[in-house]
Structure 1
Amino acid sequence: MAKTLVEAARRMGVTDPRLLAAIAATPRDRFVPPRSVARAERDEPIPIGHGQPTSQPSLVAQMIEALLLTETDVVLEVGTGYGYQTALLAHLADRVYSVERYADLAEHARANLAAMGVANVEVVVGDGTAGLPEHAPFDAVIVSAAAATVPAPLAEQLAEGGRLVIPIASVVADVVTLYAKRRGRLERRRALTPAQFVPLVGKYA
């Protein structure tokens, strides 16, 4: 199964050997609802409740690769879901703080991550658009829902030199976009790929 998803990521241009190794080491069937285990090896989104999906793995890989994570980075993830992306981030970074709107999804994610022995993650129930100022600054921020613009608190909590990936909503399709913080300002670096995401919900969305 993991080999299939590694190949899917490669087909989408992902080359980071650390990320590919993380995908190989992270069985996706441990991060989907029991009724969807048979679909976990497919490179496709899977519903997880509340109208939310767990994203297509090759898309997740593209977004993570753009963050250029190092082993000392502290990451903020907005949208935990069942914890699959969280687990990949935890393989690559020193610490991951993940914010999930729905308490039951957060609980599933905590259980899934614990079962896989992932210890460098904290899952918080709350408004992801507000970030987690008590743990800022973050070296990287990744958002798994589409917004018209980057929520101001996320830009503020990004460290100087940090990277942020978020789908930016548009009429035709959401555009996954990479930003970087330079001289205290958030700068758009490049568009990664078009995609479809659920809307980002929260005070600063």
Structure 2
Amino acid sequence: MVNKNENAITRLNLEFPVWDQIFTVHPLVIVGTIEPDSSPDFAPKHMAFPLGWKNYFGFVCTPNHSTYQNIKRTGEFTVTYPKPDQLVLTSLTASPRCDDNTKPELKSIESFPATDIDGKFIQNGYIFLECKLKRFVDGFGENSLILGEVVAAHAANDFIRKPSQPDDEKLIKNPQLVYVSPGRYATIDETQAFPFPKDFKK
């Protein structure tokens, strides 16, 4: 590979995941599902993203997780975007299950019900999505892509964009939590407008 820059480039060894060898920035969300006993289950996800410009949302999961199996059974899931002060709470949702397949840590987490589906959200997040399953796309190694349609959405008032308030000011007052993979996090409160070319369109 020819590199005209001063900084050297190293070919990565694909015997190991690329994503373990470099840092990448991702959103951090909590996916909610309903267990067979009707109790809520929550799990953090960072490989999560909008699907196109319409109201579709997807995330990566494995069939070995209850999240996948619950969605397969019910066809529904919720998505909560946590605030920076909910970092520890978000971490607790990743706690391993006990021998009886329960997560005792979830009992102390405050939640509230969705409006259009059978699901729950984490209290005090800033974006809340109610999703109906569109399809599973399996075959990414041991992982799968879960695709959903957003059928209802809610947001904390302070986080909703308004013409009367500049975007940079909005983010300074309402910073966002992101996951820096692997194994780190950051809070974003300082941003700049992206320099789109003239006449740029989505």
Task: Name the TM-score, length of structure 1 as normaliser.
Answer: 0.24
Rg bigger for which structure? 2
Between Structure 1 and Structure 2, the one with more helix by share is: 1
Task: Name the TM-score, length of structure 2 as normaliser.
Answer: 0.24
Q: Which has the higher contact order (CA 8 A, sep 6+)?
A: 2
